[in-house]
A = this chain, B = another copy of it.
Amino acid sequence: RINAERLLRRLDELGQIGALEGGGNCRLAFSDEDKAGRDIVLGWMRAAGLDIRIDRFGNVTATRPGREDGPPVMAGSHTDTVATGGKYDGNLGVLAGLEAIETLNDAGIETRRPVAVTLFSNEEGARFSPDMMGSLVYQGGLPLEEAYGIEGIDGSTVGENLERIGYIGDAPVGGNEVHAFVELHIEQGPILEDEGRTIGAVEGVQGISWTEYTFTGRSAHAGTTPMSRRCDAGYVAAEVAAYVRRLAAETGNGHVSTVGVFEVEPDLVNVVPQKAKITADLRNFDNELLKQAEQKLEAFVDDIAGREGAAVARRTLARFDPTPFDTGMVDRIHGIAERLGYSTRRIASGAGHDAQIMARICPTAMIFVPSVDGISHNIQEYTKPEDCEAGANVMLHTLLELAE
């Protein structure tokens, strides 16, 4: 069993970095707060006597050697947050991985395989798209130089920020060999809580499609410009945003779609907007339905912009196919959770996770614990201490079984 007191204390300490009034955290990727959060975790990793490896993209892996060399059994997640995030999203997975390893240390248990925990850079994608950027670069799915050049919401690049916070390490990216990967994460949705279960054995992650649309119309006087002469970029964006909502019901299969970004220029009461920028986040567990939704949205955008005479620029910010996890791994997690006496179910993930990228290179699955009220990406995000502890115990035994 893990040391719950230590795990919860660290969660609290990490949650004090970039703390927001009223609760929650702002540690956007590659910010000063992100650096401070990494620094404190790195300190704990070093204090646990682990081998630290920082790669060219700032992904930090801390390894406890096994009796044999070879690919490690790995836990991992992220410590960056959205602008108004909670203290569990990502952090719990990293700290529970570390906690499991320290529990092995404390108990003096030797394993055949090395056991590692990785803190991946920029999982959230809130400041720099795509999300899961660190694991993507780690896995080799996104070339390092391309990732360095990505511009964020404030116009600066990933590379200059990584350099500024001093997290460009020596280890190469890509070509990593991992025996198996397990990520503990809060569910961020309401299902486990609704059903009164403690552990979710995650079967897969839904597909994610992020597109940014920039509409260009013509700024004009709000009082003197007849409606028939308008080319209102803000209006086009509003119709698209309303359509994105309708698209969820039209698509079905639990489809979710969201317009999270909405900006207009010049953003003044008596000026018809000349420019509008919005993002559409579409998700579905069925890739065909996701593609259909994407196509319908494209058609709607072209139609409404065309009727208003506005120009459209589109940019794909992220596109991930639905990812099924390794069934052997899912079964294993389900079995361990039951054996430990936790009420358990198989579940699907609505959020993107580093695990879905790691699934490209090794057998992978995830452990979910309940989110109170299903709330996440919100400063009120909360998971009960006993549930954090339960998840970390399932993590410990999963790592132990895999590492033999």
- Interface segment among A67-75, A90-98, A159-167, A213-221: the answer is A213-221
Given contacts A232-B258, A242-B238, A261-B267, contact A223 B352 (CB under 8 A): yes
Interface residues as binary, A288-315 with B (CB distance below 8 Å gives 1, 0 otherwise):
0000000000000000000000000000
| Chain B residue at minimal CB-CB distance from A130 | B269
Q: Which of B129, B259, B268, B378 contacts A260 (CB 8 A)?
A: B268
Q: Determine how close the nearest CB of chain B comes to the CB of A356; give it in whole angstroms.
A: 11
In angstroms, Cα B263 to Cα A273, docked, is 12
Query: Which of A212, A271, A351 has the most CB atoms of chain B within a 10 A radius of its CB?
Result: A271
Stretch at the interface among A30-38, A109-117, A183-191, A394-402: A183-191
Is there contact, CB below 8 Å, between A272 and B249? no
A235 within 8 A of B: yes
Interfacial residues of chain A within 233-255, with CB under 8 A of chain B in the complex: 234-235, 237-239, 241-242, 245, 248-249, 254-255
A386 to B377, CA, bound (A): 59
In this assembly, does A256 line the interface, its C-beta being within 8 Å of a C-beta of chain B?
A: yes
**How far, in angstroms, from A129 to B126 measured CA to CA in the complex?**
33
Tell me which residues across on chain B come within 8 A of A317, comparing CB atoms: 269
A248 to B187 CA separation, bound complex (whole angstroms)? 45
Contacts of A265 in B (CB 8 A): 84
A256 with B83, Cβ < 8 A, contacts A125-B269, A229-B374 known:
no
Question: CA of A274 to CA of B125 in the docked complex: distance in angstroms?
Answer: 18
Indicate if the CB atoms of A84 and B377 lie closer than 8 Å: no
- CB pair A83–B129 under 8 Å, yes or no, is no
- Option from B84, B190, B224 in Cβ contact (under 8 Å) with A219: B84
Q: Which B residue sits closest to A371, measured CB to CB? A: B224
A224 touching B351, Cβ below 8 Å:
yes
Specify how many copies of this chain sit in the oligomer. Answer: 2
Query: Once the chains bind, are B256 and A261 in contact (CB under 8 Å)?
Result: no
With A235-B259, A260-B234, A260-B272 known as contacts, the answer to whether A266 contacts B83 (CB < 8 A) is yes
Q: Does A107 contact B (CB under 8 A)?
A: no
Does any Cβ of B come within 8 Å of A208's Cβ? Answer: yes
* Stretch of A53-61, A171-179, A275-283, A324-332 lying at the B interface: A275-283
What residues make up the interface of A, taking CB atoms closer than 8 Å to B? 82-84, 124-126, 129, 131, 153, 187-190, 206, 208, 210, 212, 218-227, 229, 232, 234-235, 237-239, 241-242, 245, 248-249, 254-256, 258-274, 276, 279, 281, 283, 317, 349-352, 371, 374-379
Q: Which A-B residue pairs are the 9 nearest by beta carbons?
A: A224-B350, A238-B241, A189-B224, A222-B258, A188-B224, A223-B350, A223-B351, A221-B377, A221-B376
12 contacts between A and B (CB under 8 A): A82-B270, A84-B219, A84-B266, A153-B268, A188-B224, A220-B377, A223-B281, A232-B245, A238-B245, A259-B273, A261-B264, A269-B281
Q: Can you add 15 more A-B contacts, CB < 8 Å, to A82-B270, A83-B266, A237-B262?
A: A84-B219, A84-B271, A84-B274, A125-B269, A187-B224, A188-B221, A189-B225, A222-B258, A223-B349, A232-B245, A234-B259, A258-B272, A260-B270, A261-B264, A272-B377
